């Protein structure tokens, strides 16, 4: 699995690059993880409802082809795009989602923060039961058995724009970031920590099905 550190990228440029990569894939194309972040932008999933955007903050809105409803991307947030061949890894989409969540939970747990998944609401949430604020969001697209888009982890960011939306389509959903939970790492370190856990998670899947 190849790891690419892209720095900050424009959302539309990253989206187009993901689609082009996925369209050009061959059966033996290595999977890739892209670590990036974006200038302020609200993104709606393919079936996203505009009514989940509550007010205009002057932030661009993009309707993408990922799953899920509306979320916010901005400085201080880690975005990881997962360009994986599910067929080659013998993974179902739900298994991949659970694997991504497990990697985030392990990474945050190693830093001393207890988080959990929440049934029926992809992502990672504070608390042993997942009943707290949301700290990481997921949204994927599957094309020809391969995924693109991925996850966002709130690290050290201004959370104010989340108040202008129903995050992930849920009214009154609280959102937090690692800084506000007492974790000192920056986006770059968060990316390194999470990439290690994601590689571990999906390398295990690959070896188990070899």
Q: For residue 168, indicate whether it is catalytic.
A: yes
Q: Which of 96, 168, 190, 198 is catalytic?
A: 168
As a whole number of angstroms, the distance between CA 83 and CA 142 comes to: 10
Q: Which residues contact 170 (CB under 8 A, 6 or more apart)?
A: 121
Alpha helices (runs of H) in 60-111, residue ranges in sequence order = 86-89, 93-110
d(CA 200, CA 210): 15
Are 69 and 166 spatial neighbours (Cβ–Cβ below 8 Å)? yes
What residues are annotated to the active site?
168
């Amino acid at each position: 699995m190849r790891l690419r550190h892209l720095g900050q990228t424009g959302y539309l440029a990253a989206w187009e690059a993901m689609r082009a990569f996925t369209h050009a894939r061959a059966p033996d194309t290595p999977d890739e993880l892209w670590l990036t972040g974006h200038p302020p932008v609200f993104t709606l999933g393919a079936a996203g409802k505009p009514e989940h955007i509550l007010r205009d903050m002057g932030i661009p809105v993009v309707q993408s082809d990922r799953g899920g409803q509306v979320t916010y991307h901005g400085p201080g947030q880690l975005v990881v795009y997962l360009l994986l061949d599910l067929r080659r890894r013998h993974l179902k989409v739900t298994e991949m989602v659970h694997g991504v969540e497990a990697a985030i939970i392990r990474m945050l747990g190693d830093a001393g923060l207890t988080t959990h998944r929440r049934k029926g609401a992809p992502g990672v949430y504070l608390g042993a039961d997942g009943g707290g604020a949301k700290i990481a969001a997921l949204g994927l697209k599957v094309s020809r058995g391969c995924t693109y888009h991925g996850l966002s982890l709130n690290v050290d960011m201004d959370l104010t724009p989340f108040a202008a939306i129903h995050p992930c389509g849920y009214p009154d959903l609280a959102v937090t970031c690692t800084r506000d939970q007492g974790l000192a790492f920056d986006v770059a370190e968060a990316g390194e920590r999470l990439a290690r856990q994601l590689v571990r998670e999906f390398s295990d899947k690959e070896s188990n099905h070899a």
